[in-house]
A and B are shown apart, each in its own frame.
Chain A
Amino acid sequence: MPELLRSIHYNDWILTELLLFPLLGALGIWATPALTRLVRGSEESSAYAARWIAFAVFLLEFVLSAGLWWSYDPASAAMQATYTIPWIPSWGVTYSVGIDGIALMMVLLTTFLMPLCVLGSWTSVRTKVHSYYALMLILTTGMLGVFVARDLFLFYVMWEVMLVPMYFIIGVWGGERRIYASLKFFIYTMVGSLLMLVGIIYLGIHAGDPATGLPSFAYDDILRVLTFDPTVGITVPLVHVFLSGEMLLFLAFFLAFAIKVPMFPFHTWLPDAHVEAPTAGSVILAGIMLKMGTFGFLRFSLPFFPGAVTNPTMRSIVLWLAVIGIIYGALVALVQPDLKKLVAYSSVSHLGFVMLGIFALTVQSVQGALMVMINHGISTGALFFLVGIIYERKHSRMIADYGGIARVVPMFAAVLTFVSLSSIGLPGTNGFVGEFLVLVGAFRTQPVLAVLSATGVIFAAAYLLWAIQRVLFNAFDKPANASLTDLNWREIAYLTPLLVAIVWMGVYPKPVLARMQTSAEKLVHDVEVRSTQAPGVGAAMGGGGR
C-alpha cells in the first residue's frame, strides 16, 4: 500500500484535495435544483439527488483520506504530507497544510463520521434539503482545515469558516429554541476566537522578518522565533496580579479553545446548541467540533506558551476546572429529564478528562486524552444518533415518555445498551482505554485530581445506566409506545461502522496509539524542554550582547 500511494504522489495532493473536494460537492448540490428543472424532474427527485451526491462525496472523501493511515510514517514526529504555496504575499500569509499523528487521527475521525451523518439525516431533514447538505460539506472543509492548517492565518480562517454552516444548521433545521441556541453558539465562539485573532496577529508580527517588516504566520516560524521575556507584561489593576506577555497570549488562545472544548464555566452554550441542533448537527458538534478546542491546546497553546502552561497557578486552575467539569457535567447529566440533554452534559464530563490528560502533561495522559477525543467522537456520536432515531419515531426526547421499550425495539435496545457501556468505559470497549490512560498518566503528577476524577467514571455509569433502565427496561407502561418500529436497514448501516469502531478501539487500540505516540512524546518533551529553557533564552535575548 505505501508503495502504491507513493507512486501516485499521494502525500502531495491529499490534504488539499480533502479541503477542496467537499466545496466542489457543495457547489454541485446547489446546482442540482437547476439541473433537475432542466430535465423536468420533480422537487422530490432533486432532493433525492442532493442526498446521494452528499453521501457519495463524503464516502469518496473517506476512502481517499484512508490512504493517510498507510502513508503516514509513525516513526517521524515531523509534519507530513505538507504542501505550501503563497496566498497573500504582501502579508506573509501562506496556504500551508500538513499533519502530525494527532491531526491524522482527527482527520480520519472527521471523514469517518461525515458519511454516517448524511445517512443519519436521510429522512429527518425535509426542508431546504440542498442547502442542508451543501452546508454540511462546507463545514467539513472548515473542520478539516483546522486540523491540517500549518499557517495560523489559515487556521484562523478555517476556525471561523466552520462557524457559519453550523450556525445555519442549528438555526434553520434545529428544534424549537433553535434561534436562541444558534446565536448563543455563534457569539460564544466568536468572543473567544476574536481575542485569539489579536494573539495570532501579535505572534505573526513577532515571527516576521525584521528586515522587510513582513510578518510570518507559519507555525514553524513562530515556534522557532518565539521567546518571552518574563518581566514584560501588565499588572491587572484592582487585583494587582502581574501577567507576563506570555500569559496574556496564552489566555487569549485559552479563551478561544476553552469555549470550544467547552470547559466549565464556558460550557453553557453546549447544552443549548447540542439539544437544538438536528441529529447530524449534534453528532458533528460533539464528535468533531468539540475536539477543535482540545486540538488547539495540543497544537498551539502547549508548544507556544510552555511557560504559561507549566506555571503552577495557571496549571492548577486549568486542572481544577477540568476536574470540576468532569464531576459537574456528570452530576448535571444525572438529573436531566431530557435524553439529548443528558448526552450533551456527558460531553462536558468527557471533555474534562481530555483537559485533565492534556494538562497533566505526561506522555501517557496525553495519549489517553487523544484516545478519549477519538472515542468520545465515536461513542457520543453514536448516542446522539440513537437519540435522534427514537426522536424521529416518537417526537419526544423525554425519558419519562418511554419505559420498557426494549420489548418493542430489541435491536435498538441492544445497540443503545452497548454504546452506553462504551461511553461509560467498560473494559473491552473503546471508552475504557482512553480514560484509563488519562487516569494512570495523571496519577503520576496529580494524584489528588486523578482520584477525584475517577469518581466521574462512576457517575457516568450512574447517569447512563439509570437512563437506559428508565427508557429501555422498567415496566412497559405506555401503550402508545407499542407502535414504535425497530431499526431499519439504513439505520443499521450507519450504526454498524460505529459499533465496529467501538469494539476495535477497545480490543486492539495499538495501531491507533502507535500513530500518535511519537507526536505525543514530542509534544510533552518539547513543553518540558522549552519551559525550562525559555526564560533563559528570553533573558539572553533581552540582555543583548551583555
Chain B
Amino acid sequence: MTPLDLATPAGLTIALTPDLVLMGGAMLLMLWAAWRPDGASHQRAVGFGSAVLLVATIVVTILFARAGRTATTGAVAVDQFRWSSDLIFLGSALITVLLSIEYNDRESIGTAETHVLLLFATSGMMLLAAARDLIIVFLGVELMSIAVYVLAGLNRRSAKSAEAALKYFLLGAFSTGFLLYGIALIYGATGSVQLPAIGARVLRYGLFTNPMLLVGIALLMVGFLFKVAAAPFHMWAPDVYEGAPTPVTAYMAVAVKAAAFAAFLRVWLEAFNLVAGAWHTALWNVAVLTMLVGNLVALQQKNIKRLLAYSSISHAGYVLVAVVVASAEGSGAFVFYLVAYALATMGAFAVVAAMSRSGERDLMVEDYAGLWFVRPGTAVAMTVFMLALLGFPVFGGVGFFAKWYLLRAALDASNPQILLAVTLVLTSVVSAGYYLAVVKEMFMRARPADAPEPPRTGIMTRSLIGVLAALILVLGLFPDRLVSWAERSAQALPSATVVDVPVQP
C-alpha cells in the first residue's frame, strides 16, 4: 500500500479515521444526552451508547493496525505505536464507562453527559498518541484535560469532589502553561513545531547546547511530568484521586497517565533523541525520585484510593525508566508495561468501586478486613491485582513480565542502567509493604463482628473484575503474543543516543 499523503485532505482524513469516528460519535451522543432530561435510565442508555461507540472505535483502530499503513511526514503519525496506545486508551475508557454506569446509579448521578465527556477526553488522548507536531500535542492535552477537569467534579453533592476538580483544574492549567512556554521556546530555537523537523534542525544547526532549546525542553519536560504525576510534580495526584468519583479516578490513573506518557515518549524520541545528553540525567533523577517517593509515601496510606494514587505515582517512576533508556527495547517495555498497569489498576479500582457505599464511604484499607470470608471471589481478584502491581510472577500474572521487560530494557541498553534497575527492584520490595497490607486485611484479619455486609455489586462491575483478573493471569502464563505486539509497536519510534554531546567551544 502506498503511504498516505498527509498533505492532502483525503490522506489526512483517512489517517484520522479512528479519531473522527470517536469524535463524530461523541458529538451525536452529546446531542442525544441533551435531548432528554437527566435521569437514571437516560444515563444508562447514553452510557451503553458510549460503550458501543468505543467498541466500534476499537474495531476500526484494530483494522487500521492490521492494515499497517504508513504515511508521509506530517502533523500526525500513522504507525503501530499510535494504534497500540489508542487501544490502551480505548480499552480503559470502555472499562470506565461500564463502571460508571453502575457507579452513577448508586450515587444517583443522573447527568448523562458524563459518558460523553469521557469520550471527548479519550479523543484528546488519541490525538496525543498521534501527534507529531507540538501544536497537536497541545490540542490533545487540552481536549483531554478540560474534559477530565469536569469529570473530577462530577459528584456535585460531594465537597471532596469539588475540591478535587478545582485543584486539578488549577494545577493542570499551571502545568499547561509550562507546556506552552516550552513549545514556544522550542519553536523559537528551531523554527519548527514538527517533531522530525525539530530533530533535523538540531542536527543541522548544531543546537545541542542552545540555551533557548534546552530551557524549552526543560519546561516541556516539567509540563509532561505534571501530567504523568512524577515526583516532584505529583502533589496534586493523591488529593485529586481521592476526591474524584472512583471510575474517574481509575480513568485518570490509567488512561490520562498513559496518554501523557505516550506523547512524552514520542516527543522525546522523535524530536530530542539527539540531545539525550541534555535531558538524560534530569529524567534519570526524576525516575529514581518518583520511585522512591511514590513507594515510601504509599506505605503510610490508610485510604485505599490514596494508596492506589501513590502506587500510580511509583508506577510512573517505573515507566520513566523506559523513557530514560530510550531504546527500541525500552519503547517495547513501555507499551507492555502500560498494558499490564492498565489491567491491574483498572481492576483494583473496579474492586474499590464495588466495595464502597454511596457517598464514597468505606474506603479505608481496614474496611476490607476479612473480605475473604464474605466475598471470596472479590478478595482473590483484588489479590491478583495487588500482586500484578507488585510485579509478582504467576499469581500477579502479566505484572511480573512487565517488570521483567523493563529490567531487561534497562540492562540491555547500550549504556546499561544497572543502578536504575537496582532502584526499581528495591523500591518494588518496598511496594510489597503496602500491596500486601491490602491482601493481609482481606485474608488474615477476621471480619469484625459489627462490619456491615459488603454492598451488592452490579453484574457489570463483577464481570469486569473477573475478566480483568483472568486476563492478567492468562497473559501471565502466555505473554508471547503481547510481547511481539509491544515489540512491533516500538519499531515505529527511533531510539535515542544516550551519549554526552561534547560542549561546543
Q: Which of B110-118, B403-411, B496-504 contacts A (4 or more CB under 8 A)?
A: B403-411
Residue numbers in B under 8 Å from A171 (CB-CB): 440, 443-444
Residue numbers in B under 8 Å from A201 (CB-CB): 404, 407-408, 411, 421
Residue numbers in A under 8 Å from B484 (CB-CB): 90
Residue of A nearest to B428 (CB): A194
Q: Mark B417-438, 1 if CB is under 8 A from A, else 0.
A: 0100110011011001100100
Residue numbers in B under 8 Å from A88 (CB-CB): 479-480, 483
Residue numbers in A under 8 Å from B471 (CB-CB): none
In the complex, what's the smallest C-beta–C-beta distance from A169 to chain B, in angstroms? 11
Residue numbers in A under 8 Å from B426 (CB-CB): 191, 194-195
Residue of A nearest to B408 (CB): A201
Residue numbers in A under 8 Å from B429 (CB-CB): 187, 190-191, 194
Residue numbers in B under 8 Å from A157 (CB-CB): 393-394, 400
In the complex, what's the smallest C-beta–C-beta distance from B372 to chain A, in angstroms? 8
Q: Mark B17-31, 1 if CB is under 8 A from A, else 0.
A: 000000000000000
Q: CA A205 – CA B404 in complex, angstroms?
A: 12
- Cβ 8 A contact of B393, one of A90, A161, A178, A204: A161
Q: Is A314 located at the chain interface by the 8 A CB criterion?
A: no
Q: Mark B379-397, 1 if CB is under 8 A from A, else 0.
A: 0000000010000111100
Residue of A nearest to B477 (CB): A87
Residue numbers in B under 8 Å from A204 (CB-CB): 408
Q: Is A89 located at the chain interface by the 8 A CB criterion?
A: yes
Q: Is A501 located at the chain interface by the 8 A CB criterion?
A: no
Q: Judging by beta carbons under 8 Å apart, are B483 and A198 in contact? A: no
Q: CA A194 – CA B404 in complex, angstroms?
A: 10
Q: Judging by beta carbons under 8 Å apart, are B392 and A164 in contact? A: yes
Q: Judging by beta carbons under 8 Å apart, are A215 and B443 in contact? A: no
Q: Interface size for chain B: under 10, 10 to 19, 20 to 34, or 35 or more residues?
A: 20 to 34
Q: CA A194 – CA B394 in complex, angstroms?
A: 15
Q: Judging by beta carbons under 8 Å apart, are B444 and A178 in contact? A: yes
Q: How many A-B residue pairs have CB under 8 A?
A: 81
Q: Mark A148-164, 1 if CB is under 8 A from B, else 0.
A: 00000000110011011
In the complex, what's the smallest C-beta–C-beta distance from A251 to chain B, in angstroms? 12
Q: Is B487 located at the chain interface by the 8 A CB criterion?
A: yes
Residue numbers in B under 8 Å from A186 (CB-CB): 432, 436
Q: Judging by beta carbons under 8 Å apart, are B387 and A198 in contact? A: no
Q: CA A198 – CA B391 in complex, angstroms?
A: 14
Q: Is A183 located at the chain interface by the 8 A CB criterion?
A: yes
Residue numbers in B under 8 Å from A161 (CB-CB): 393-395
Residue of B nearest to A168 (CB): B443
Q: Is B5 located at the chain interface by the 8 A CB criterion?
A: no
Q: Is B142 located at the chain interface by the 8 A CB criterion?
A: no
In the complex, what's the smallest C-beta–C-beta distance from A183 to chain B, in angstroms? 6
Q: Is B412 located at the chain interface by the 8 A CB criterion?
A: yes
Contacts A195-B422, A198-B411, A201-B408; is A91 near B440 (CB within 8 Å)?
no
Further contacts, 13 of them, CB under 8 A, given A164-B395, A171-B443, A215-B412: A89-B480, A161-B394, A164-B387, A172-B443, A183-B440, A187-B432, A195-B422, A195-B426, A197-B407, A198-B421, A201-B411, A205-B408, A205-B412
Q: CA A75 – CA B440 in complex, angstroms?
A: 49
Contacts A90-B483, A164-B392; is A205 near B444 (CB within 8 Å)?
no
Listed A/B pairs (8) with beta-carbon separation below 8 Å: A88-B479, A90-B484, A91-B483, A163-B392, A182-B444, A183-B440, A198-B425, A201-B408
Q: CA A191 – CA B431 in complex, angstroms?
A: 11
Q: Is A202 located at the chain interface by the 8 A CB criterion?
A: yes
Q: Mark A163-202, 1 if CB is under 8 A from B, else 0.
A: 1100110011000001100110011001100110110011
Q: CA A215 – CA B411 in complex, angstroms?
A: 12
Q: Judging by beta carbons under 8 Å apart, are B393 and A172 in contact? A: no
- Cβ 8 A contact of B433, one of A156, A187, A194: A187
Residue of B nearest to A213 (CB): B412
Q: CA A197 – CA B443 in complex, angstroms?
A: 28
State the main secondary structure of chain A at its contact with B.
Answer: helix
Q: Which B159-217 residues have a C-beta within 8 angstroms of A?
A: none
Residue numbers in A under 8 Å from B394 (CB-CB): 157, 160-161, 164
Residue of A nearest to B425 (CB): A194
Q: Interface size for chain A: under 10, 10 to 19, 20 to 34, or 35 or more residues?
A: 20 to 34
In the complex, what's the smallest C-beta–C-beta distance from B365 to chain A, in angstroms? 13
Q: Which residues of A are in contact with B by a Cβ distance under 8 Å?
A: 87-91, 156-157, 160-161, 163-164, 167-168, 171-172, 178-179, 182-183, 186-187, 190-191, 194-195, 197-198, 201-202, 204-205, 215
Q: CA A165 – CA B493 in complex, angstroms?
A: 42
Q: Judging by beta carbons under 8 Å apart, are B444 and A179 in contact? A: yes
Residue of B nearest to A202 (CB): B411
Closest 8 CB pairs of A and B: A194-B425, A90-B483, A171-B444, A157-B393, A160-B393, A164-B395, A191-B429, A88-B480
Residue of A nearest to B394 (CB): A161
Residue of B nearest to A191 (CB): B429
In the complex, what's the smallest C-beta–C-beta distance from A101 to chain B, in angstroms? 28
Residue numbers in B under 8 Å from A190 (CB-CB): 428-429, 432
Q: CA A126 – CA B412 in complex, angstroms?
A: 50
Q: Judging by beta carbons under 8 Å apart, are A195 and B425 in contact? A: yes
Residue numbers in B under 8 Å from A197 (CB-CB): 404, 407, 425
Residue of A nearest to B482 (CB): A90
Residue numbers in B under 8 Å from A202 (CB-CB): 411
Residue of A nearest to B427 (CB): A194
Residue numbers in B under 8 Å from A194 (CB-CB): 425-426, 428-429
Q: CA A183 – CA B299 in complex, angstroms?
A: 14
Residue of A nearest to B409 (CB): A201
In the complex, what's the smallest C-beta–C-beta distance from B397 to chain A, in angstroms? 11
In the complex, what's the smallest C-beta–C-beta distance from B499 to chain A, in angstroms? 20
Of B393, B411, B479, most A-chain CB atoms within 10 Å: B393
Q: CA A215 – CA B407 in complex, angstroms?
A: 13
Q: CA A190 – CA B411 in complex, angstroms?
A: 20
In the complex, what's the smallest C-beta–C-beta distance from A248 to chain B, in angstroms? 9
Residue numbers in A under 8 Å from B421 (CB-CB): 198, 201
Q: CA A271 – CA B408 in complex, angstroms?
A: 36
Residue of B nearest to A182 (CB): B444
In the complex, what's the smallest C-beta–C-beta distance from B415 to chain A, in angstroms? 14
Q: Which B435-488 residues have a C-beta within 8 angstroms of A?
A: 436, 440, 443-445, 479-480, 483-484, 487
Residue of B nearest to A153 (CB): B404
Q: CA A342 – CA B407 in complex, angstroms?
A: 41
Residue of A nearest to B486 (CB): A90
Residue numbers in B under 8 Å from A167 (CB-CB): 436
Q: CA A89 – CA B408 in complex, angstroms?
A: 15
Of A91, A182, A187, A204, most B-chain CB atoms within 10 Å: A91
Residue numbers in B under 8 Å from A164 (CB-CB): 387, 392, 394-395
Residue numbers in A under 8 Å from B479 (CB-CB): 88
Residue numbers in B under 8 Å from A195 (CB-CB): 422, 425-426
In the complex, what's the smallest C-beta–C-beta distance from A109 to chain B, in angstroms? 23
In the complex, what's the smallest C-beta–C-beta distance from A155 to chain B, in angstroms? 11
In the complex, what's the smallest C-beta–C-beta distance from A336 to chain B, in angstroms? 26
Q: Mark B349-373, 1 if CB is under 8 A from A, else 0.
A: 0000000000000000000000000
In the complex, what's the smallest C-beta–C-beta distance from A174 to chain B, in angstroms? 9
Residue numbers in A under 8 Å from B433 (CB-CB): 183, 187
- Cβ 8 A contact of B436, one of A90, A183, A198: A183
Residue numbers in A under 8 Å from B432 (CB-CB): 186-187, 190
Residue numbers in A under 8 Å from B444 (CB-CB): 171-172, 178-179, 182
Q: CA A195 – CA B418 in complex, angstroms?
A: 11
Residue numbers in A under 8 Å from B392 (CB-CB): 160, 163-164
In the complex, what's the smallest C-beta–C-beta distance from A493 to chain B, in angstroms? 31
Residue numbers in B under 8 Å from A183 (CB-CB): 433, 436, 440
Q: CA A187 – CA B299 in complex, angstroms?
A: 14
